[in-house]
Structure 1
Amino acid sequence: MPLHPEARAVIDATDALGGLVPAGEVSPARLRAAFAEVWRPSPNPEQVDSVVDRAIPGPAGAIPVRVYAPHGDGPFPTLVWYHGGGWVIGSLDENDATCRVLCNAVGMNVVSVDYRLAPEHRYPAAAEDAYAALNWVAAHGAEIGADGRIAVGGESAGGNLAAVVSLMARDHDGPPISLQLLAAPVMAPPSDRASYVDYGRGHFLDRESMEWFFQQYPRDPDDLNDPYLSPLAASHLRGLPAALVMTAEFDPLRDEGEEYAHRLLDAGVPVTLVRYEGQIHGFFALLVDQLSISAEAHARAAAALRAAFAQEAVR
């Protein structure tokens, strides 16, 4: 399918700014500031019952989280959400619109996690914070009106963290997870997969940016073989939660996300895999004001979350 005109407009605007991650030497701090300036929250956010910023205990100090509560009488199931940004950039703000939409559409709490960023905090910092947030919701969810049913989700590097905490929970007898919602997830380092070859330049997220992110997050090359950084490196995927995996046709990360979905299926894990034709990276959470396909993707995710929670008894 041809590139959607809305996606082309995003690419052109990003190219005019020098790319998602500008070429040449740039400090992570400057990049975060520039990113925050460009990618602002939606000017007309959907109204939920409440939005509260708070801190929860983490392995290296407090972890900021933003808790979205739906209208109605709880307790409610909870989605633990992880933002994207290559483990280096991004914050709670860029995914605010998506968190609000899902909160209302499902009737659930959303706990959006502001995990530590690299390179100041290299692997496994982000993964440890992500898992700590999951465990906090499981143990202390009553504080936010949670009923014990938990899903995890994220886009891009956030999708990576959602997959990683699912692996951690399986491996360490952690909290049961109803669904892992993986939108354009990072599953492995940059590669020669066809989507990297075909769309690694000139399609919003590019290979150069991903290579830069993979220079910031790992401590050393051995980390790239750790499934808690690269889920495709896992020896097996049996016993993981059901998954909804969503990819975009013109995304260099497309093939690794789809490969992970097929490996889950091969391991007996229930999976729904959806490719959004004509679309680019960031279609689910980052670019909701630029890409109308976001609404369709949100509706699909909400339906999957409702179905997953309906199968789980309140714990």
Structure 2
Amino acid sequence: MALALAAALVGCDSGTKELASAELVTAGLTPAEQEQGAHMRITDIEVTGPAAAQHPGTPNRIGSDRIRVRAYEPVLEPGGKPWATLVWAHGGSFLRGTLDWPEADWVSRQFADAGIQVYSVDYILASDTVQAPAPSNDVAAVLSWAAERAEPEALLAIGGASAGAHLATLAALDRADRAAAGDGRVADALILEYPTMHRVQLPDPAIAAATAGLPEQRRFSDDRIAEMYAFYLGAGPEGGAGLQAGDAPVAGELPAERLAALPPTTIVNADADDLRASGEQFAEQLRAAGVPVTASIQPGTVHGYLNRPEETATSLVDAEETIDRFVIALRQIAAG
């Protein structure tokens, strides 16, 4: 089900390849160009992925050889530097999504407008031949790559929406493990937008009532959630229940001592969203693990609203307010 991606490569060094981009803007913008709205440099690059050679017929549980990443570099005053670096993962139930989705592109532009260097990750999608933890391994590889290049004084953040929030959480844990082993720095902040963190959610009558009137495509029934995770995790031997514990972790099923390695976390849930139960439960799990966490609800929204920011005037306000919530949280974490 993964989408085929094709682009013309332009040679460069240092482990990345820049791609031809209609929105590529030279680093030295003139005042006239800035007046015309050229306030960020958007470039497609490729980052070395975690994949090794696969055995024929074996599902890819490792990740990509090369990971496509879209970089959003804010254009600042001479001598200015981004105050934060953010690695961002779009949603899509682990099996859909592109860098062109608003949940990837529009969101990244808003963060870049706030002076943040953003790397939006085109992680490998779950399919009949790609299963967990390959998608989260791709996100973790880009986070490690970004950590090496971020300004030492800049905040290093990781985040995502829906299934991407799940992958971002696992990537933050991977970075904590590597940092503990002496490999680079930890992520300083984790931001999660309407996350899905559990295969089985706690029942919540208030949420059920709020979502009862939604069209089926915007509902997440227990069966739909179970099928989503089963497809992402893959079947076990002879079609069994899936991977053994630890082979491909589910973030919301990890013990408190494991979750304690996560950085300060900000969660924004949609209002009429079945998955809100998962986001709220995960916030409680983080509090119990001693992780600083701020959780809020964007009123009047449904799941995926960041992917529809210009559907209505209200949609745009909701999306912009959500980005503002995250930017304020990141600035507070950066200020210590």
Structure 2 length normalisation: TM-score?
A: 0.72
The residue that corresponds to 1:286 in the other structure is 307
Q: After TM superposition, give the deviation of residue 275 of structure 1 in Å.
A: 1.4
Q: After TM superposition, give the deviation of residue 301 of structure 1 in Å.
A: 0.8
Question: Structure 1 residue 185 and structure 2 residue 192: aligned?
Answer: no
Q: State percent identity of aligned pairs.
A: 30
Q: After TM superposition, give the deviation of residue 211 of structure 1 in Å.
A: 3.7
The residue that corresponds to 2:59 in the other structure is none
The residue that corresponds to 1:255 in the other structure is 277
Q: Closer, same or farther in 2 for the Cα pair 1:103/1:171, shift >3 Å? A: same
Q: Closer, same or farther in 2 for the Cα pair 1:103/1:205, shift >3 Å? A: farther
Q: Closer, same or farther in 2 for the Cα pair 1:308/1:158, shift >3 Å? A: same
Unaligned runs of 5+ in 1: 1-27, 34-45
Equivalent residue letter for 1:49: M
- Name the count of aligned residue pairs: 265
Question: Structure 1 residue 215 and structure 2 residue 230: aligned?
Answer: yes
The residue that corresponds to 2:94 in the other structure is 87
Per-residue CA deviation, residues 260-314 of structure 1 (Å, 9 max, x unaligned), is 111111222111110123211113x312112131111111111112222233xxx
How many Å separate the matches in 2 of 1:305 and 1:187? Answer: 22
**Alpha-carbon contact 2:176-2:187 (below 8 Å) kept:** no
The residue that corresponds to 2:171 in the other structure is 165
The residue that corresponds to 2:68 in the other structure is 64
Q: After TM superposition, give the deviation of residue 58 of structure 1 in Å.
A: 0.3
How many Å separate the matches in 2 of 1:180 and 1:224? Answer: 27
Equivalent residue letter for 1:250: A
**Alpha-carbon contact 1:75-1:147 (below 8 Å) kept:** no
The residue that corresponds to 2:142 in the other structure is 133
Per-residue CA deviation, residues 214-269 of structure 1 (Å, 9 max, x unaligned), is 23211233448549542111111223200101112211110111111111112221
How many Å separate the matches in 2 of 1:192 and 1:181? Answer: 22
**Alpha-carbon contact 2:201-2:277 (below 8 Å) kept:** no
Q: After TM superposition, give the deviation of residue 65 of structure 1 in Å.
A: 0.0
Q: Point out the more displaced range, 64-73 or 217-226.
A: 217-226
Equivalent residue letter for 1:268: G
**Structure with the larger RCO, 1 or 2 (CA within 8 Å, 6+ apart):** 1
Q: Point out the more displaced range, 226-235 or 294-303.
A: 226-235
**Alpha-carbon contact 2:144-2:175 (below 8 Å) kept:** no
Equivalent residue letter for 1:112: S
Q: Closer, same or farther in 2 for the Cα pair 1:227/1:305, shift >3 Å? A: farther
How many Å separate the matches in 2 of 1:274 and 1:93? Answer: 27
Equivalent residue letter for 1:298: I
How many Å separate the matches in 2 of 1:227 and 1:287? Answer: 35
How many Å separate the matches in 2 of 1:149 and 1:109? Answer: 10
Equivalent residue letter for 2:190: Q
How many Å separate the matches in 1 of 2:289 and 2:328? Answer: 24
Superposition pairs for residues 93-172 of structure 1, below 5 Å? 93-94=100-101, 95-105=104-114, 107-119=115-127, 120-141=129-150, 149-172=155-178
How many Å separate the matches in 2 of 1:100 and 1:299? Answer: 13
Q: After TM superposition, give the deviation of residue 71 of structure 1 in Å.
A: 1.7
Equivalent residue letter for 1:289: E
Partner SS, residue 93 of structure 1: coil
Unaligned runs of 5+ in 2: 5-36, 52-64, 236-240
Q: After TM superposition, give the deviation of residue 116 of structure 1 in Å.
A: 0.4
Equivalent residue letter for 2:252: L
Equivalent residue letter for 1:214: Y
**Alpha-carbon contact 1:98-1:288 (below 8 Å) kept:** no
**Alpha-carbon contact 1:59-1:129 (below 8 Å) kept:** yes
The residue that corresponds to 1:303 in the other structure is 328
